[in-house]
Amino acid sequence: MLKLFVCLLVVLPATVAWMTEYDKPFLKECPSKQSVYWIKSQHSNSREDRVWDYRCRHSSKISTTSEINPYDGTILFQCPRKGALVGVQSYHSNHHEDRIWSFKCCDVHLTRGANCLFTKSFVNQYDAVMDYKITPANNYLTGVYSEHNNHREDRVWRFETCSIVH
């Protein structure tokens, strides 16, 4: 019996633990004085939704935004006052098979301009895994752009990052 149990442990695949659930609202806020620097996501065609994971690192003061997109609409968001993204809130609609998004930002004394850039292309493909990490450590996530596709019932994403200028 013990040999059978050990064999089962070796054969079973490892599962990824996501911080959100399909079709459920979620709120992710970084701890005090931290901002988002890593975003991972996976799409399910059967659920027509994504699960998400966000990681945080050091930052400062916080401000909140309201809902920024209609269902099936384009998202273009940049943190006010040259801030960095520290929180994400989202609600899913099974009718629209999309999410409404809100973001929370903090002040990190960033200077927009030559040191701020959106990714040149989307960081994910429809119906595929997304794993986007902001590097180097002096860069912060400051903006989000996303397009929804009704046929795919999924979104593709681009992100803006800025460097701290002292």
| Per-residue pLDDT tens listing for the chain (166 residues) | 333 323 222 333 334 578 889 999 888 777 777 778 788 899 999 999 999 888 877 765 555 566 789 999 999 999 887 788 888 899 999 999 999 999 888 876 655 544 789 999 999 999 999 999 988 877 889 999 999 999 999 999 999 998 876 5
Classify strands 34-44 and 130-133 as parallel, antiparallel or unpaired: antiparallel
pLDDT averaged over the chain? 80
CA neighbours closer than 13 Å in the CB half-sphere of residue 30: 28
The answer to whether the CB of 142 falls within 8 A of the CB of 162 is: yes
pTM above 0.75, yes or no: no
Judged by DSSP in three states, 115 sits in coil
The answer to whether the CB of 35 falls within 8 A of the CB of 108 is: yes
What's residue 92's pLDDT? Answer: 95
What's residue 26's pLDDT? Answer: 83
Extended strands (E) in 30-114: 34-44, 49-58, 62-64, 75-78, 83-93, 98-107
What torsion, rounded to 10 degrees, do the Cα atoms 136, 139, 142, 146 define?
A: -20
Ranges of each domain in the chain: 23-163
Query: What are the beta bridge partners of residue 35?
Result: 57
Residue 68's alpha-carbon distances to 10, 11, 50, 78, 130, in angstroms, are 46, 45, 18, 11, 22
